[in-house]
Structure 1
Amino acid sequence: MSLALSPQARDALETWLDQSRAIKGAAENTLAAYRADTVDFIAFMSHHHGGTEGLGPLSRLTTSDMRAWMAHLRAGGASSRSVARKLSAVKSFYRWLAERNGFEPTAVLSARAPKFQKKLPRPLSENAARAMIDTVEMQSLKGWAGARDAAVVTLLYGCGLRISEALGLCGRDLPLGESLRIVGKGGKERLVPVLPVARQAVARYLSLCPFEMAPDLAVFRGARGGALSPRHVQKATEAARLQLGLPATATPHAMRHSFATHLLSAGGDLRAIQELLGHASLSTTQAYTSVDTVHLMKVYAAAHPKAG
């Protein structure tokens, strides 16, 4: 599909991505999604107009062109959420391109994303979260590997880390103190308190780990000593949830969701939780208030004498 881009369009796209990386600190996964979505958009317009899309034709797109592209996506089975994500990437590119080249981008920027119901996080109960940590350890035949998996999942639940953040810890981060400086999405730094239970879990793993720790090497190692892969943690938690009879939503990321929801239930401040999670926007963290309200209403319905 990249053949549908003229050299000028390709250069413009790469310059925009480079600036998004340098100025906005966009994560590599985000940039890869931006590139793919924007290239697909330009490829569609090329086919739609019957020729390679240079910067000139791209600056003259109409509302009808945008409707045709979105209809094409829906006909291909794209969900409302997926269409909205792709449109967001295209709009970001067009805002930058229009400012750089001096054309009117209204037709693109005024395109409306389809409405969709945002998926709310599905946290585990406190008992289920604890059981997940205990059961994950039993999925490995080697004691050090079981302790490793339990330590990773404890960091997800006890510190609210993303799986990439937990697996990104290096020898220089050891020994864990009362707080940990985490570099999250977009290179944003945050300071995360480390509970004694998390420090103990990591210390226990380190005492059993057969590999030497070095400042630049990953703390969590695979069977051959290389950095542990996220897929391994996902498989270990999947085996544990099946053993516990938990739903498919009981993933490593659900442990992070559980961290936030349980803090909120205990009276945690939403802004503070936003900082701990490393969310750029408070609106992302506010999803947990909806989760907590749903839980509260279920408890009310079950317990209130007049609820029935």
Structure 2
Amino acid sequence: MSDTLAISPGARDALAGWLDHIRALDGAAENTIEAYRADVAGFLAFMAEHHGAGQGRAALARVGLSDMRAWMAHERGRGVGPRSLARALSAVKGFYRWLSERDGFDATAVLSTRSPKFTRKLPRPVSQDAAREVIATAETQARTGWIGARDAAVITLLYGCGLRISEALGLTGRDAPLGEVLRIRGKGGKERLVPVLPAARDAVAAYLALCPHPREAGAPLFRGARGGALNPRIVQKAMETARLQLGLPATATPHAMRHSFATHLLNAGGDLRAIQELLGHASLSTTQAYTAVDTARLMEVYEASHPRARS
């Protein structure tokens, strides 16, 4: 079923209007916008086929609970997992929340649809010693010195600053030499300030001293072998090779380095709110899940840091 052909012009215009809205007001990243578009377009295409006709804007207001159940059953039947279905349902609800406000209809049937339950998978942190060994191994395993220094610098930023791999590779020549603080534009275009440890500054400086490609303000800071932007898969491969050499589990990924940053900070007594800001999480609950510590430890940190708990 072609989503584009099945959706009526009215529904297509409504979807475009919603995407423009979240792009302008919510500052959502383009990858997020595209994921929303695909999820809602698939839903609209299903409804068109389910009812045997293109769902115009007025028809969308008549979608009921039985229609929602039919869509979710269809998605499960074609192999969509509970996590992906929950994400799609969230996008559909966002679309209907916006549409119902503009067209003046009751969207309770859609908005009250229960999300499928799923177990949140958390990356496992590596130990502090293992993190240091990964960085050292990544530096020495490369075929050329400057590439080894580059890989070590990127992984150091993931672990030492808690950056996402996309954030580290999004740095440009304008960011170098690194100062004591980095201004990072994360998910949804939200900016945050991240302290830079001396080890991270030194690692990036060592890479820049060896890099054969000229540093340009608007060009990527981290370059591929031929001078273009560094592909994240190259960093993932470097870590994969390092973990195999060190005998670390498959969970020792670039994302696990960021996760280890958060976990080690919390275990050292770091404040949850501060860690939330450093990671760029929209909600504190995300940070709580991300750090994967026991409830007693969370409550201990909460009681020590919350103003009401101290009063």
Partner of 1:271: 273
Structure 2-normalised TM-score? 0.92
After TM superposition, give the deviation of residue 93 of structure 1 in Å: 0.2
After TM superposition, give the deviation of residue 265 of structure 1 in Å: 0.6
Q: Distance in 2 between matches of 1:77 and 1:174?
A: 46
2:271 aligned partner, one-letter code: D
For the aligned residue pairs, the C-alpha RMSD in angstroms reads 1.6
Q: Distance in 1 between matches of 2:201 and 2:217?
A: 18
Q: Which is further off, 112-121 or 199-208?
A: 112-121
1:83 aligned partner, one-letter code: L
Matched, 1:225 2:227: yes
Partner of 1:305: none
Q: How many pairs align?
A: 296
Structure 1 stretches of at least 4 aligned residues deviating more than 2 Å after TM superposition: 288-296
Identity %: 72
Q: How does 1:230-249 map to 2 (within 5 A)?
A: 230-249=232-251
Match of 2:139 among 132, 137, 141: 137
Instruction: Write out per-residue CA displacement over residues 218-274 of structure 1, whole angstroms, 9 at most, x where no aligned residue.
Output: 110001111101111111111111222212211111100000000001110000000
Q: Distance in 1 between matches of 2:115 and 2:290?
A: 24
Matched, 1:77 2:72: no
Query: CA 1:238–1:106 in structure 2 vs 1: closer, same or farther (change >3 Å)?
Result: same
Matched, 1:48 2:42: no
Matched, 1:32 2:31: no
Partner of 1:259: 261
After TM superposition, give the deviation of residue 276 of structure 1 in Å: 0.6
After TM superposition, give the deviation of residue 288 of structure 1 in Å: 4.0
After TM superposition, give the deviation of residue 153 of structure 1 in Å: 0.2
- Point out where structure 1 has 5 or more consecutive residues left out of the alignment: 297-308
Query: What secondary structure does 2:217 align onto?
Result: coil
2:231 aligned partner, one-letter code: S
Q: Distance in 1 between matches of 2:215 and 2:290?
A: 37
Partner of 1:285: 287
Q: How does 1:1-308 map to 2 (within 5 A)?
A: 1-291=3-293
Query: What secondary structure does 2:101 align onto?
Result: helix
Q: Distance in 2 between matches of 1:5 and 1:289?
A: 42
Q: Distance in 1 between matches of 2:293 and 2:15?
A: 39
- Work out whether residues 146 and 211 of structure 2, in 8 Å CA contact, stay in contact via their aligned partners in 1: yes
Query: CA 1:272–1:224 in structure 2 vs 1: closer, same or farther (change >3 Å)?
Result: same
1:102 aligned partner, one-letter code: G
Instruction: Write out per-residue CA displacement over residues 268-303 of structure 1, whole angstroms, 9 at most, x where no aligned residue.
Output: 00000001111111111011453356999xxxxxxx
1:136 aligned partner, one-letter code: A
- Work out whether residues 235 and 254 of structure 2, in 8 Å CA contact, stay in contact via their aligned partners in 1: yes
Q: Distance in 1 between matches of 2:216 and 2:237?
A: 27
